[in-house]
């Protein structure tokens, strides 16, 4: 398909390696970034290859020798400067992500731009509170930086996911080579500009744009990369693990999800169902934690379906850069067609289409929009209940009793997140404790950037955010006296 070009295309011609903007190994080769609402090319970034990775890893390896011995004060100063630099460019970052990804601008300002800046600042505080040495009997146990970290990040929360990796890695004394998503890479280049202005020592942070099969695999298999930290699909995470296994490097994975929201029989449906939709349809459903399986008691099923229909139809579609709708488009044409394919699969397998559907919205002929969709009469063996759709599609499942609800929720290959709704907090916590997931939101509990984030089962291993995120980048050594 031929993609039109916007009048104000931003072109980044160089990678950021060893504190400088450097020519790619294959100059003149670019990846095109498309505006999700207009379907026009909005940016170009260099298409890196293994030679670019080699150069970036060499810079990171050399810089590690001195950065690992930097003081906590020096690292905190750098983290603070980066945080301030990102805050100064908040409007630009928010607009960029709204164009690339499709999140409405008001939300993008808070989540896609504000949260990454906060994360860098948080790690200055966390670092100061971290104990790096402990005496145990005749042993001195110390925590040291892992070394050179390869960070591979996704497109749905591009700068947020970058910050979750780069900030704690730098705080720990590690050096970084970053490969951002080729679909939404622009904010990685803004971060590199901010880091350069902040004066981070050369080689501590390096940026190589490119594709997963070329740049990502080169990083995962590189002998001088000590750890890979990856966020993306379970399929891609499996491949990263396979490639990294050749050098026995550490691997942290944050992968897919198919989260369940359990609405207990004592919950307020008028609060629980809209609350679930607000989490599930955030970022047009392009969120790995999205609770897209809504579990409701059989006795309240008909009522729940009616509330769900009304709620879904309140999610208006529109241009995210002007906040014209409650949700925007999906990120690419291929993602839109993938989601439409799942909707068609749901119908084919016998689920009841309550609202929405695979057809294009009549009033939005351009942009990768998908109508907010609800399925009823869904069973947990259907494809739409098993696989991560990554779009605004909700499946409503009925359960008999509390035990049945927990069984259905845990009957999944994934275990990233979940939700419980109840008028009894103790009961909600009891159910939450039995859900095999890395996090559970109780009665709409808000996201906490200082709490650990990560999953069970095929949702990955390792944790991000807070002190747990810092510990991912530390080795433990004992010295016997």
Instruction: Choose, from 182, 254, 388, 472, the residue flagged as catalytic.
Output: 254
Instruction: Choose, from 288, 388, 464, 472, the residue flagged as catalytic.
Output: 288
DSSP string, 288-327: TT---EEEEEGGGHHHHHHHHHHHHHT--B--GGGT-SSB
Among this protein's residues, is 254 annotated catalytic?
A: yes
- Stated as kind and residue range, the H or E segment containing 44 is strand 40-46
Higher pLDDT, 6 or 28: 28
Asked if 226 contacts 199 with a C-beta cutoff of 8 angstroms, the reply is no
The C-alpha atoms of residue 416 and residue 437 are separated, in whole angstroms, by 5
Residues contacting residue 431 through CB under 8 Å, at least 6 positions apart: 262, 264, 402, 405, 406, 420, 422
Residues contacting residue 132 through CB under 8 Å, at least 6 positions apart: 142, 143
| Partners of 231 in the β-ladder | 254
What tens digit of pLDDT does each residue of 46-57 get? 999 999 999 999
**How far, rounded to the nearest angstrom, does the alpha carbon of residue 27 sit from its chain's CA centroid?**
30
Confidence category of residue 2, pLDDT binned at 50, 70, 90: low
What tens digit of pLDDT does each residue of 367-388 get? 999 999 999 999 999 999 999 9
Average pLDDT, the chain: 97
Confidence category of residue 439, pLDDT binned at 50, 70, 90: very high
Predicted pLDDT of residue 197:
98
What tens digit of pLDDT does each residue of 7-51 get? 789 999 999 999 999 999 999 999 999 999 999 999 999 999 999
Q: How far is CA 358 from CA 217, 313, 338, 369, 392, in A?
A: 35, 15, 10, 10, 11
149 is written with which tokens? 């970290």
Predicted pLDDT of residue 5:
76
Tell me which CATH homologous superfamily contains domain 4-255+459-480. Aldehyde Dehydrogenase; Chain A, domain 1 (3.40.605.10)
* CA-wise closest residue to 259 among 394, 101, 115: 394
Asked if 259 contacts 290 with a C-beta cutoff of 8 angstroms, the reply is yes
143 is written with which tokens? 């925590």
What tens digit of pLDDT does each residue of 136-181 get? 999 999 999 999 999 999 999 999 999 999 999 999 999 999 999 9
CA-based end-to-end distance of the chain = 68
Mean pLDDT value of segment 90-104: 98
Asked if 383 contacts 345 with a C-beta cutoff of 8 angstroms, the reply is yes
Domain 260-449 annotated CATH 3.40.309.10: yes
Within the chain, which residue ranges are assigned CATH 3.40.605.10?
Answer: 4-255+459-480
Within the chain, which residue ranges are assigned CATH 3.40.309.10?
Answer: 260-449
What tens digit of pLDDT does each residue of 240-287 get? 999 999 999 999 999 999 999 999 999 999 999 999 999 999 999 999
């Amino acid at each position: 398909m031929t993609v039109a070009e916007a009048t104000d295309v931003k072109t980044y011609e160089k990678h950021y390696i060893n504190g400088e903007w450097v020519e790619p190994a294959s100059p003149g080769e670019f990846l095109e970034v498309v505006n999700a609402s207009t379907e026009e090319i909005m940016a170009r970034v260099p298409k890196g290859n293994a030679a670019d990775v080699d150069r970036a890893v060499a810079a990171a390896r050399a810089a590690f020798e001195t950065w690992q011995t930097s003081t906590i004060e020096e690292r905190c100063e750098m983290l603070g400067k980066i945080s301030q630099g990102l805050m100064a460019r908040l409007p630009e970052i928010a607009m960029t992500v709204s164009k690339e990804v499709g999140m409405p601008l008001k939300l993008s300002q808070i989540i896609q731009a504000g949260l990454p800046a906060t994360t860098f600042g948080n790690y200055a505080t966390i670092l100061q509170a971290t104990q790096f040495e402990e005496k145990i009997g005749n042993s001195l146990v110390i925590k040291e930086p892992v070394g050179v970290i390869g960070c591979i990040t996704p497109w749905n929360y591009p700068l947020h996911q970058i910050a979750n990796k780069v900030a704690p890695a730098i705080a720990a004394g590690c050096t970084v080579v970053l490969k951002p998503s080729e679909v939404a890479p622009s904010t990685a280049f803004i971060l590199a500009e901010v880091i350069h202005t902040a004066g981070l020592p050369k080689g501590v942070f390096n940026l190589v744009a490119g594709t997963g099969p070329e740049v990502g695999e080169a990083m995962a298999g590189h002998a001088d990369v000590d750890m890979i930290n990856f966020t993306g699909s379970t399929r891609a995470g499996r491949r990263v693990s396979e490639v990294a296994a050749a050098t026995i490097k550490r691997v942290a994975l944050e992968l897919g999800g198919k989260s369940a929201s359990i609405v207990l029989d004592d919950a307020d449906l008028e609060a629980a169902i809209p609350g679930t939709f607000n989490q599930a349809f955030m970022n047009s459903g392009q969120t790995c934690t999205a609770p897209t399986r809504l579990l409701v008691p059989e006795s309240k099923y008909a009522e729940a379906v009616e509330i769900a229909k009304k709620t879904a139809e309140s999610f208006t579609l529109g241009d995210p850069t002007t906040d014209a709708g409650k949700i925007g488009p999906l990120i690419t044409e291929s993602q839109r067609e993938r989601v439409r394919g799942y909707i068609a699969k749901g119908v084919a397998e016998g689920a009841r289409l309550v609202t929405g559907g695979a057809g294009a919205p009549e009033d939005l002929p351009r942009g990768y929009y998908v109508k907010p969709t609800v399925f009823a009469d869904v069973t947990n063996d259907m494809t739409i209940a098993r696989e991560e759709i990554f779009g605004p599609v909700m499946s409503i499942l009925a359960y008999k009793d509390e035990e049945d609800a927990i069984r259905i929720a845990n009957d999944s290959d994934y275990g990233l997140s979940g939700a419980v709704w109840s008028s009894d907090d103790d009961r909600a916590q009891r159910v939450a404790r039995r859900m095999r997931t890395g996090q559970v939101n109780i009665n709409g509990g808000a996201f906490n950037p200082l709490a650990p984030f990560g999953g069970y089962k095929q949702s990955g291993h390792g944790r991000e955010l807070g002190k747990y995120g810092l510990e991912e980048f530390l080795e433990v050594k004992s010295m016997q006296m």
